[in-house]
């Protein structure tokens, strides 16, 4: 960065796996430290895993990143820049989203090899450096010619409100009070508090509905009543014990109404094994919603507490996850691996998802001038046709790759426009946006696009087994798929029928709302 962008680098923090695989973690850091000795301070940030390929390790990565950035939270001496090259697409997106909590972060960069497909890559692997190169070759590889490198400044919104407001929002979660200026979804509150305040209690209550409450909820859904989504949001907030306790609105023996702000919806509930008003002195594990009521504007509820208790249904039957069956439009930023699209589709619609969803439309957004990706689109159109899924083909004209700041801006504008178009076409559906699919820069920009559009969560697909990941990379190239005799054989491979589905993990990433697009 110093030589290409003219940004002086005084400190370099290297996040790397520690003592796990011989050539992947510590050895790579030591090569960097030795090479830059005397040029800048180099700090090791060891990660307690070999690969960020699960929800748990992704959270651990974020915590170490937060610990590193915290050093510069109140230090105006340094400007901080984040480099997303080197890790997974998920870690690239994580760096971008967490960076928004810090006013010290002034930019995000990606580094590409202009001749990345050549037999002489500018970025050889650690195994190549350690096993195949002489000391002189290693020295040359660690300082490649500047003309081979392409440093890309990713369009970055910075702290959308202010880091102070973000942190205030997180602290408000501890007290159950509404925060001012920033409204995070319940999922986002749990996620970011787990990252930023991992030492504190971040308990989440189970929420169950009785048959009666479930039937009422479905009745609201069938009538397309706006209370449908409001009640679902209520249930998510009821997972938070402090907020549930503070939201008690009337006591009827062991039962209560739950109220949030100036809303009319009133779930009628009780808790187990102890009443919520005794929390935290007594443990509370589960919330049972017995019925749903709506305040009529005159202080009267329909139905009333007395009517509900006269025919009370206390038996928990439906977990909160069972309400998440949704009709979705799935948007996938597509790169050179067509299988990512079918993987995300399969995981979102499968039994292992949080409330399997129905996906009628898959939108593929990609650089039109990239012939390899265009070939993938043609293959996917044929394959999704076998699932009765409509394909929205969204090529971005005059774009070949995300290889410049301007190309990134064009891509982000195209993604914003695609989301708006699909919402107008299918207003009854939710948008599901994938972080997986293309380059790391696409993952970062997909997260920013979700912020612009007010999408509450995005999805990332992880393969948790390295051998399985290598096998899939080999078996799902366009060339490998073309060798299969029939479209049926291709479909079995693309939709995971030939692989152990337990080796795949669908990771939901909550989104911080963004008021002003880039």
CATH number at residue 464: 3.40.50.10770
Q: Is 445 found in the same domain as 405?
A: yes
Token code pair at residue 403: 């290889």
**CATH assignment of the domain containing 14:** 3.40.50
pLDDT tens digits along 455-508: 988 998 888 888 898 898 889 888 898 899 988 899 999 999 999 888 888 888
User: pLDDT by residue (tens digit) across 383-431?
Assistant: 999 899 999 999 998 898 888 999 999 999 999 999 999 999 998 888 9
Does residue 205 lie within any of the structural domains? no
- 106: pLDDT strictly greater than 70: yes
Residue 201 domain-assigned (yes or no): no
- Tell whether 330 and 392 lie within a shared domain: yes
Note the pLDDT of residue 420.
95
Residue 407 in domain: yes
17 and 126 within one domain: yes
Over range 115-141, report the average pLDDT: 76
Q: Would residue 383 count as lying in a domain?
A: yes
Q: Are 293 and 325 in contact, with CB atoms under 8 Å apart?
A: no
Torsion from C-alpha of 137, 142, 143, 145, nearest 10 degrees: 80
**373 and 288 part of one domain:** no
**Confidence label for 518 from pLDDT (cuts 50, 70 and 90):** very low
d(CA 341, CA 380): 8
pLDDT at 308: 96
Percent of the chain residues topping a pLDDT of 90: 39
From 154, 185, 220, the end of a domain falls on 154
Cβ partners under 8 Å of residue 107, min gap 6: 81, 82, 153, 154, 156
Rounded distance between C-alpha atoms, residue 515 and residue 517, angstroms: 7
Let me know if residue 321 belongs to a domain.
Answer: no
Unique residue bearing structure tokens 């109220």: 259
Considering the domain architecture, whether residues 242 and 367 belong to the same structural domain is answered as no
Task: Place 25 in a pLDDT band, splitting at 50, 70 and 90.
Answer: very low
Between 55 and 356, the more confident residue is 55
Same domain, 283 and 380: no
Helices (H) and strands (E) in the chain, counts: 19, 18
Taking residue 67's Cβ as centre, other Cβ atoms within 10 Å add up to 11
Give me the pLDDT at residue 114, please.
Answer: 81
pLDDT of 297 over the 90 cut: no
The larger pLDDT score, comparing residue 225 to residue 117, is at 117
Q: Given this model, what pLDDT does residue 517 score?
A: 46
Q: Which of 298, 316, 334 is the last residue of a domain?
A: 316
- 388, two tokens: 């009765």
**pLDDT over 70, % of the chain:** 86
Whether residue 516 lies inside any domain: the answer is no
| 458 and 394 inside one domain | yes
Q: What's the confidence (pLDDT) of residue 23?
A: 41
Predicted pLDDT of residue 204: 87
Taking a C-beta distance cutoff of 8 angstroms, is the pair 152, 445 a contact?
A: no
On whether both 228 and 354 belong to a single domain, the answer is no
- Mean pLDDT along residues 58-84: 88
**pLDDT tens digits, one per residue of 257-281:** 999 888 899 999 999 999 999 999 9
Please check whether residues 380 and 441 belong to one and the same domain.
yes
- Residue-level pLDDT at 352: 57
User: Residues 255, 301: contact at Cβ < 8 Å?
Assistant: no
Q: Which domain-ending residue is among 287, 316, 345? A: 316
With beta carbons less than 8 A apart as the criterion, state whether 28 and 45 touch. no
**Between 31 and 128, where is the model more confident?**
31
Distance CA 85, CA 83 (A): 6
* Residue of 83, 94, 29 whose CA lies nearest to 58: 94
Q: Name the most confidently modeled range: 96-100, 353-357, 359-363.
A: 359-363
Residue 518 lies in a domain: no
| Per-chain mean pLDDT for the chain | 84
> pLDDT (tens digit, 9 = 90+) per residue, 177-222?
555 556 777 888 888 888 887 555 568 899 999 999 999 998 887 6
Q: What is the average per-residue pLDDT within 221-246?
A: 80
* Structural domain of 231: 211-316
Residues 14 and 62 in one domain: yes
Domain total for the chain?
4
Higher pLDDT, 447 or 189: 447
pLDDT classification of 245: cutoffs 50, 70, 90: very high
Distance of CA 5 to the CA centre of its chain: 30
Q: What does the alpha-carbon distance between residue 173 and residue 419 come to, in Å, rounded to a whole number?
A: 30
User: Do 183 and 222 have their domain in common?
Assistant: no
294 and 333 in a single domain? The answer is: no
Would the pLDDT of 52 be above 70? yes
Q: Is residue 515 part of a domain?
A: no
Range among 1-15, 18-32, 188-202, 242-256 rated most confident = 242-256
């Amino acid at each position: 960065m110093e030589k290409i962008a003219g940004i002086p680098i005084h400190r370099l923090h290297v996040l790397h796996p520690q003592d796990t695989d011989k050539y992947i973690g510590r050895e790579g850091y030591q090569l960097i430290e030795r090479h830059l000795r005397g040029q800048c301070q180099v700090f090791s940030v060891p990660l307690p895993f070999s690969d960020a390929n699960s929800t748990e390790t992704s959270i651990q990565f974020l915590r170490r990143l937060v610990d590193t950035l915290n050093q510069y939270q109140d230090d105006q001496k340094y400007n901080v820049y984040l480099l997303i090259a080197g890790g997974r697409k998920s870690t690239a997106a994580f760096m971008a989203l967490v960076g928004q909590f810090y006013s010290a972060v002034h930019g995000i960069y990606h580094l590409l090899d202009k001749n990345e497909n050549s037999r002489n890559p500018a970025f050889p692997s650690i195994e190549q450096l350690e096993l195949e190169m002489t000391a002189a070759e290693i020295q040359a590889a660690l300082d490649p010619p500047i003309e081979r490198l392409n440093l890309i400044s990713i369009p970055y919104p910075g702290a959308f409100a202010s880091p102070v407001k973000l942190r205030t929002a997180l602290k408000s979660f501890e007290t159950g009070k509404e925060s001012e200026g920033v409204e995070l979804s319940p999922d986002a509150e749990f996620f970011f508090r787990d990252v930023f305040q991992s030492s504190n209690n971040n308990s989440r209550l189970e929420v169950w509905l009785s048959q009666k409450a479930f039937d009422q909820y479905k009745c609201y859904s069938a009538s397309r009543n706006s209370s449908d989504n409001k009640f679902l949001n209520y249930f998510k907030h009821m997972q938070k014990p402090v907020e549930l306790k503070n939201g008690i609105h009337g006591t009827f023996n062991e039962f209560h109404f739950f109220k949030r702000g100036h809303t009319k919806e009133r779930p009628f509930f009780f808790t187990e094994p102890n009443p919520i008003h005794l929390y935290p002195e007594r443990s509370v594990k589960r919330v049972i919603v017995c019925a749903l009521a709506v305040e009529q504007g005159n202080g009267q509820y329909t139905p009333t507490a007395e009517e509900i208790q006269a025919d009370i249904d206390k038996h928990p039957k439906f977990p909160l996850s069972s309400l998440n069956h949704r009709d979705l439009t799935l948007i996938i930023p597509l790169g050179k691996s067509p299988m990512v699209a079918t993987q995300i589709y399969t995981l979102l619609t499968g039994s292992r998802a949080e409330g399997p969803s129905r996906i009628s439309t898959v939108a593929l957004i990609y650089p039109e001038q990239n012939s390899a990706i265009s070939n993938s689109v043609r293959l996917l159109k044929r394959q999704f046709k076998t699932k009765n899924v409509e394909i929205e083909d969204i090529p971005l004209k005059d774009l070949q790759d995300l290889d410049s700041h301007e190309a990134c801006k064009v891509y982000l504008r195209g993604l914003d426009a695609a989301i708006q178009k699909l919402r107008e076409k299918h207003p009854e559906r939710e948008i599901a946006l994938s972080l997986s699919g293309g380059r790391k820069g696409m993952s970062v920009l997909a997260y920013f696009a979700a912020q612009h559009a007010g999408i509450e969560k995005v999805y990332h697909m992880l393969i948790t087994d390295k051998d399985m990941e290598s096998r899939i990379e080999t078996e799902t190239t366009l060339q490998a798929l073309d060798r299969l005799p029939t479209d049926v054989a291709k479909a079995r491979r693309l939709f995971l029928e030939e692989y152990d589905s337990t080796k795949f993990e669908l990771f939901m990433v909550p989104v911080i709302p963004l008021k002003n697009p880039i």
